[in-house]
């Protein structure tokens, strides 16, 4: 919408992404990094005796969805000078690797259901545009919840997926 003699421009939006993953692990998951051993038609009895921590083949469904609002405002002081502010929520779901790695954990454990990464994103600034000059000064702030990352765990001697919790970026 345009308001105040078209000096104020407001944009509002909603998006509703939905993600669904159906994983079928036909092999034994042997580590929190998603490493697997596939036995084919072999009898698993001897394998399980030698590898008591291995997780048997499993199927699991993951559903991630969220309604994400956004809003933007531009106020023009003059035809050449304006200020702006934007806000948007974001969603980033775990990729295939962390989801397959989560199959190592029993379905009742928190690590078996990785949380998606969500963000609140803000940016604001000043713009000047004329026939000879185009300039902008701006700043941003992103607040992550459940920030997802990979890290090497020296105790396990493996690369595993971590949830870093809240992270601020600016």
Give the model's pLDDT for residue 143.
97
Please name the helix (run of DSSP H) or strand (run of DSSP E) that holds residue 147, with its range, or none.
none
pTM over 0.95: no
50, 43 contact by CB (below 8 A): no
CB burial string 47-66: b at 16+ within 10 A, e below: eeeeeeebbeebebebebee
- How far is Cα 148 from Cα 165, in angstroms, rounded to an integer? 8
Q: What is the pLDDT of residue 4?
A: 94
Task: Please state, in angstroms and rounded to a whole number, the distance separating the CA atoms of residues 137 and 155.
Answer: 46
Give how far Cα 82 sits from Cα of 58, 122, 135, 139, Å: 56, 17, 11, 15
The answer for 4, left when phi > 0, alpha when psi is -120 to 50, beta otherwise, is left
Task: Tell me how far apart the alpha carbons of residues 50 and 58 are, in angstroms, rounded to a whole number.
Answer: 20
pLDDT at 17: 95
Enter the tokens of residue 126: 């000043």
Given this model, what pLDDT does residue 112 score?
Answer: 84
User: What pLDDT score was predicted for residue 109?
Assistant: 84
Q: Are strands 58-65 and 18-25 parallel, antiparallel or unpaired?
A: antiparallel
Query: So what's the pLDDT on residue 76?
Result: 97
**Which tokens is 133 given?**
């000059």
pLDDT tens for each residue of the chain, 170 residues long: 999 999 999 999 999 999 999 999 999 998 877 788 998 888 888 888 898 889 999 999 999 999 999 999 999 999 999 999 999 999 999 888 888 888 888 888 878 888 899 999 999 999 999 999 999 999 999 999 999 888 788 887 777 777 788 999 99
Which pLDDT belongs to residue 92?
92
CA–CA gap between residue 20 and residue 4 (Å, rounded): 44
pLDDT of residue 164: 84
What's the rounded Cα separation, in Å, for the pair 83 and 101? 46
How far separated are the first and last CA of the chain, in Å rounded?
A: 29
């Amino acid at each position: 919408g345009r308001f105040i003699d078209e000096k104020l421009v407001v944009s509002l939006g909603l998006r509703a992404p939905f993600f669904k993953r159906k994983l079928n692990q036909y092999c034994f998951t042997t580590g929190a990094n998603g490493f697997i051993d596939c036995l084919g038609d072999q009898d698993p009895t001897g394998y399980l005796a030698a590898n008591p921590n291995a997780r048997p083949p499993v199927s699991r469904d993951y559903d991630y969805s969220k309604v994400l609002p956004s809003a933007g405002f531009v106020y023009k002081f003059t035809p050449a000078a304006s200020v702006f502010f934007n806000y948007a929520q974001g969603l980033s779901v775990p990729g295939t690797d962390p989801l397959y790695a989560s199959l190592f954990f029993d379905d009742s454990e928190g690590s078996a259901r990785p949380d998606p990464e969500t963000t609140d994103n803000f940016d604001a600034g000043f713009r000047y545009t004329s026939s000879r000059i185009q300039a902008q000064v701006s700043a941003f702030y992103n607040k992550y919840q459940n920030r997802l990352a990979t890290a090497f765990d020296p105790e396990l001697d493996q690369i595993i997926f971590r949830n870093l919790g809240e992270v601020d970026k600016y």
